[in-house]
Structure 1
């Protein structure tokens, strides 16, 4: 028996118009209402309606690319590389494909809504980029949605995300822990012992993994971590600026600042300069990702280079079936330490530095 929009509305105890608004994302709907509708969609396995039901075993020429923030170069670089491999005019996939970039804005609800819409459209492939939300109910909902997509014949690739087990998705996971550890080891090797850390949002896997790497390096060097030397914020320049001022307020003798990403590092540099501190003579700064502006910053940023374009292109080829999936369905994409002018040895006599 075909499930209709009215069936979903009845299960969610809302009007058919509200169900349509949730699925089309074209009108504001309360979060609690959206959750009820999406739960009903999943429980009833509502995918198609009307004449499209006769195509239930087929996939379309649509490919969805989910990003957190298309204005962030981290996501823009990957999305561009993925799209270049998918096809259509100027593409290299050997066939016409319509790539749709879905900007979630970091909203868990939008992420689920886009996955539902792509499921309804029988997307040929879906690529999810960047870290995942660390919320158990949301993670379970996403896993269930990915499982339904793959079971329906949609190729699902996670680019920069940890593996989602038992979903059929293929993962190209960034080694954020290893990168975070190498970055902090570099600064420790220069003699730094008082390192502030500007972390990203606490609910993101990327944040946790990079911070774990930082802490592993401190522990290996026998350096006690002061909880007050870590500040969480967004992955943007403003957050880096504000967090650095807060770190300086808490501990003015810090000799290095490790930033969650390069945009955050730029904000940290601005705050240090406005506070009358030189980089790296007074305070070293390190970022993460090696975004295009990093080498042109003044001073040029020490950072971990993630091969964003290369990983995106590979994800696109796997999504199109033009490259074999990695063994076990998961591959670790490692970063490279890029040592530049923003990091140096702490000045002689600085508190917490290692004497020459």
Structure 2
């Protein structure tokens, strides 16, 4: 009969020993390896001297007993797996997938683990994930993408930024505005408004004056920035802003399709469409083609993000290139930098550049 300190094992028919359904403890590993529990802890920590033979016995026992370390206990003991939590609305979005790839690649290079959580656009779910990651002692929490601007949400996220800081962690905001002056968070952004200004200016320079803007939700920070760039470009070219040429939806293909289809049912009062994302623009293409119209001869179309889809559409679509992978890599680098743990750390803001990629989807009007 097995002793109280030795986990029950059974032969699996191959000559090896497998553990029963009872989970092994650190003490079980110590007994199995013939060492003290302190030696097992040192091997798990990896930062204390242990003889080679003792380390090999402990590692062999861990494998044979299928031992899983108690991460909470290890954290309390000061042994913490370095993790970056990457939180986004939807893993299916190609632009954020690029950013996730950048975070994961840089985290791997730095020896950190990358965890991914999704919110489905739910602010309360996002707040809950950040709280959970704080409790799990994640080294950093990266939030990507715009959010509906609301005072109560900003107040809660500000509190979490301070709470993460107190736990030695860091809140990193990607592609969204900073919370407030002095909040201990890193903001890794891109010139969202400037990109919209540049691409609207390009369309205006081709002679268009009636440009339909298709954005996201009215208070969504990303959509607001792109609408501001659109409006500023109109002003630069001396074109009066017409609110009837602004439609709000969500950043999906279906939304782009429905908004465009609705506008095409009546008299067409625009010559070009600026879709706030490339995914929305794909829906615009579908609606235009379904109506028997041609791009760009009848309607010119531009997008934003410059994902691979922009090159797959026919004709190839002009879009604003956002360096999403670099955005993710930069977020991971900032998270791993110990500088943010200084008491006098003032926060950090990094802005990456965007640029217009001109293709074949805009016609010149004489």
Task: Specify if TM > 0.5.
Answer: yes
Aligned to 2:143: 128
Aligned to 2:196: 180
Distance (whole Å) between structure 2 residues aligned to residue 337 and residue 155 of structure 1: 33
Give 5+ residue unaligned stretches, structure 2. 1-70
- Change in Cα spacing, 1:110 to 1:56, as seen in structure 2 (3 Å) is farther
Decide which of 138, 154, 175 is 1:139's aligned counterpart.
154
- Provide the TM-score with structure 2 as the length reference: 0.75
Contact 2:305–2:319 under 8 Å retained in 1: yes
Q: How many residues align?
A: 292
Distance (whole Å) between structure 2 residues aligned to residue 297 and residue 331 of structure 1: 32
Secondary structure of the residue aligned to 2:147 is: coil
Aligned to 2:169: 154
Distance (whole Å) between structure 1 residues aligned to residue 87 and residue 218 of structure 2: 21
Aligned to 2:233: 217
Secondary structure of the residue aligned to 1:119 is: helix
Contact 2:119–2:125 under 8 Å retained in 1: yes
Secondary structure of the residue aligned to 2:351 is: strand
Contact 1:62–1:121 under 8 Å retained in 2: no
Contact 2:161–2:170 under 8 Å retained in 1: no
Aligned to 1:73: 94
Aligned to 1:352: none
Distance (whole Å) between structure 2 residues aligned to residue 135 and residue 72 of structure 1: 24
| In the alignment, structure 1 residue 171 sits paired with structure 2 residue 192 | no
- Provide the TM-score with structure 1 as the length reference: 0.77
Aligned to 1:235: 251
Displacement, 1:132? Answer: 2.7
| In the alignment, structure 1 residue 202 sits paired with structure 2 residue 218 | yes
Contact 1:58–1:122 under 8 Å retained in 2: no
Give 5+ residue unaligned stretches, structure 1. 1-49, 347-355
Displacement, 1:247? Answer: 2.4
Decide which of 327, 330, 340 is 2:349's aligned counterpart.
330
Q: Please list every run of at least 4 consecutive aligned residues from structure 1 whose deviation after the TM superposition is greater than 4 angstroms.
A: 50-54, 56-60, 322-328
Displacement, 1:337? Answer: 0.5
Displacement, 1:110? Answer: 0.5
Deviation readout 1:147-182 (Å, 9 max, x if unpaired): 210222102222222222332111111211101111
- Change in Cα spacing, 1:338 to 1:324, as seen in structure 2 (3 Å) is farther
Contact 1:262–1:289 under 8 Å retained in 2: yes
Deviation readout 1:100-134 (Å, 9 max, x if unpaired): 10101100011000011001111111111111331
Displacement, 1:65? Answer: 0.5
RMSD of aligned Cα (Å) = 2.4
Instruction: Tell me which moved more, 143-152 or 324-333.
Output: 324-333
Distance (whole Å) between structure 2 residues aligned to residue 202 and residue 84 of structure 1: 34
Deviation readout 1:60-91 (Å, 9 max, x if unpaired): 433211111111011111011101111xxxx2
Displacement, 1:223? Answer: 1.2
- Change in Cα spacing, 1:54 to 1:277, as seen in structure 2 (3 Å) is closer
Displacement, 1:208? Answer: 0.3
Displacement, 1:246? Answer: 2.1
Distance (whole Å) between structure 2 residues aligned to residue 251 and residue 181 of structure 1: 27
| In the alignment, structure 1 residue 82 sits paired with structure 2 residue 103 | yes
Distance (whole Å) between structure 2 residues aligned to residue 98 and residue 92 of structure 1: 10
Distance (whole Å) between structure 2 residues aligned to residue 109 and residue 58 of structure 1: 30
